[in-house]
Chain A
Amino acid sequence: MPERNFGRSADIPLGMSDNSAPSVTGSSPAPSAAGLRVTVDLNLCQAYAQCCYAAPDHFVLKGREALHYDPAPSTGARADIERARIACPVQAIRVENTGTSRR
C-alpha cells in the first residue's frame, strides 16, 4: 500500500502549526485551528479494522496489525470519524472536536 499522508503535510508550512506558539500563559492557550484530534489506544487495538471501513481516509491498517491513523482530521470528517469511534469493538478511539469543546 502506498504511503498515505494524513492531515496537514509534514513538509509544508511547519510554521503554521496550530499550537507551537512560544510561551503561552493564561486561561485560554493559543486558539487552535478548528478540527478534530484523534488518538487511538494501540494497546487496546486488536486490528479489527472497523475504523478503516468507517473512515477509510483517516484509518489504514498496514500489514497484519499496524494501524496508521490521522491524528488531526478536518471538521468535515466528523461524521466518519464518529462512525469509526463508535464501531471500534474495543473502544480504543478517542476524539475531540476542537471547534467546540476546547478549553
Chain B
Amino acid sequence: MSDDTLFAQIKDEANRPDPYPLLAALRECPVSRQEDGTYVAASHAAISSLLHDPRVSSETLPPADRPKTGNPLKDWLVKPVRDYITDTHRPFIFRDPPDHDTLRAAVMHQFTHQRVQAMRARSHQLVDEILDKLGDARAIDIVDDLAYPLPVTIICELLGVPPEDEEKFHGWATQLATALEPDNLQNDEARAENSRTFDVISEYMKGLIAQKRRDPKDDMLTGLAGEGADGAPRMGDFDLIATAILMLVAGHETTVNLITNGMLTLLRHPEELRRLREDPERAPRVVEELLRYEPPVQFRTRTALCPIPHGEVTIPEGAPVVLMLAAGNRDPDVYAEPERFDPDRTDNRHLGFGGSLHYCVGAPLARFEVEAALVALARRLRNPRLIADPPPYRPGSALRGPKHLRLAIDGIDP
C-alpha cells in the first residue's frame, strides 16, 4: 500500500523545488486514496482515462462565500444573490458541458489564428525590447524582467486591456489563481478573500466591457462583448465577466512559470542551451519537452460524480480527484528515460496542457511566447549562470514555478 501522505508532502512548500521523487512514489499506485479522502491519479494511463471520463466533473470550485458585513440588508439579500450569481456563472474552467462548451466556443471564435499569429510576432518584438532595455546589465531576474511582463503584456493586448491598468491586476491575478490550490478551497478565509477580489476585478471588467461596447476595438473583449453580427456565439454579461477574468488570470499565472522553468531547465542542461542557441528551429521541441518535464500546471482537481472503479480502487461519488499531470508526464510506462530532459524524444503525448474538454485554451499562444523568450535568451545572454540553484519558489503547488530566477551574465548581445 502506498503512502497516503504523499499528496500532503507534495503540497508542502518545502518540497517545491523538486517534487519529482514524491511524484514517482505516488505513481507506484495509478490511483491512490490520500489521508484527506482525496484520490490522486498519477499514472499517464489513469490521468488520460479520467480526463476523458464523463463521470468526472470540473465544477469543483466550492460555492462563492462572501464575508458578512454586519449590515442585514447586505448580508441577507445582496450577499446571497451575489453568491448565487457568481456561483452559476463560474468561469468555464470550472464548468461542465453543455455550458462549458458554449462558453469555450465563444472564446475560440475570437481566438483566431490571425490574432495568435499577430501575438507570435509581437512576442518576439517584446522580448527584444525588454532585453534591449536591460542594456549592459550584469544580472537579470528572468521572472521579473521577462517571464512575467511578456505574457501579461500579450494577454492584455489580446484582450484589449489598457496597459496602464495592468499593474492593478498583478495582485488580483495572484489571489484568484489560488483557487487552483486545493487547500485554499477548504479555507473559509481564503475563499472570502477570493470573493472580495473577484468583486473588485468584476467591477473593473464591467466598466471595461461597457467601454468596448461604446468604442469597439479589434480585440477579443470587443469581440466577446459584441452583438454577434459575424455569427459569433454570444454569452450573457455575467459569463462574459467571468470569462474575461479567467483569461486574464490564466495569462498572468501560467506562462510565467513555463518560461522560468524553461530557462532553469536549459541552464541545468547547458548542452541543450547551446543547441537551442545554434539552432532556433529546435525551439518547438524544447517547449514541448518542457511541458512534459516541468509543467507549469502540476495538477488539476476534479470531482467524481459517480463511483469510478479504477483497477483495485473505486473512487467514491463526491470524492475530490486530483489529476497529477506532472507525474503522468514522467511515467516510465510511456516515456523512455522519463527523468531525462530530451527535446528529441518522439511521440511526446505530454499532459502539460491537460486534455479533453478542458485542454488549455491558451496553449498555442503560450507555445509562441515561450519559444520567443527562450530563443532570445539563449541567443542574447552572454554566459548566463544561475545565482541560486534551486531558486526560491512561489508558494503554489498546483501552479508551480520559481519566484525569482536570478542569473549572472557577462552582458546582453544585440
Contact = CB atoms under 8 A, between A and B. Distances in A.
A56 B113 contact: yes
A89 B349 contact: yes
B383 interface: no
Contacts of A83: 284
B192 interface: no
Interface in B99-123: 108, 113-114, 116-117
Interface residues of A, number: 16
Contacts of A48: 359, 363
A21 to B, nearest CB: 33
Contacts of A54: 284, 364, 367
A86 B113 contact: no
B348 interface: yes
Nearest to A44: B349
A79 to B, nearest CB: 6
Given A79-B281, A87-B288, A90-B349, A50 B113 contact: no
A32 interface: no
Interface string B345-372: 0011100010110010001100100000
Interface in B256-288: 281, 284-285, 288
Nearest to B111: A53
Nearest to A92: B349
A6 B18 CA distance: 47
A85 to B, nearest CB: 9
A52 B359 CA distance: 15
Contacts of A79: 281
B360 to A, nearest CB: 10
Contact of B353 (A56, A82, A89): A89
A82 B359 CA distance: 21
A53 B353 contact: no
Contact of A46 (B108, B353, B356): B356
A91 interface: yes
A87 B355 contact: no
Contact of A56 (B117, B288, B347, B349): B117
Interface in B316-372: 347-349, 353, 355-356, 359, 363-364, 367
User: Which of A52, A54, A86 is most buried by chain B, counting CB atoms within 10 A of its CB?
Assistant: A86
A50 B356 contact: no
Contacts of B281: 79, 82
A87 B367 contact: yes
A63 B363 CA distance: 20
Main secondary structure of the interface of A (DSSP, over half): helix
Nearest to A46: B356
Interface string B276-307: 00000100110010000000000000000000
Contacts of A56: 113-114, 117
Nearest to B289: A86
Contacts of B113: 52-53, 56
Nearest to A85: B284
Given A48-B359, A86-B284, A53 B349 contact: no
A53 B347 contact: no
A89 B359 contact: yes
Nearest to B349: A91
A54 B288 CA distance: 13
A48 B350 CA distance: 14
A22 B202 CA distance: 68
Contacts of B364: 50, 53-54, 87
Contacts of A89: 349, 353, 355, 359
User: Which of A49, A50, A52, A89 is most buried by chain B, counting CB atoms within 10 A of its CB?
Assistant: A89
B159 to A, nearest CB: 17
A53 B116 CA distance: 7
Given A46-B356, A56-B113, A82 B348 contact: no
Contacts of B348: 86, 91
B285 A91 contact: no
Contact of B288 (A49, A52, A86): A86
Contacts of B367: 54, 87
A50 B363 contact: yes
A82 B116 CA distance: 18
Given A86-B285, A91-B347, A91-B348, 12 more contacts: A48-B363, A49-B108, A53-B116, A54-B284, A56-B113, A56-B114, A56-B117, A86-B348, A87-B363, A87-B367, A89-B353, A89-B355
12 contacts: A46-B356, A49-B108, A53-B113, A54-B284, A56-B113, A82-B284, A83-B284, A86-B284, A87-B284, A89-B359, A90-B349, A91-B348
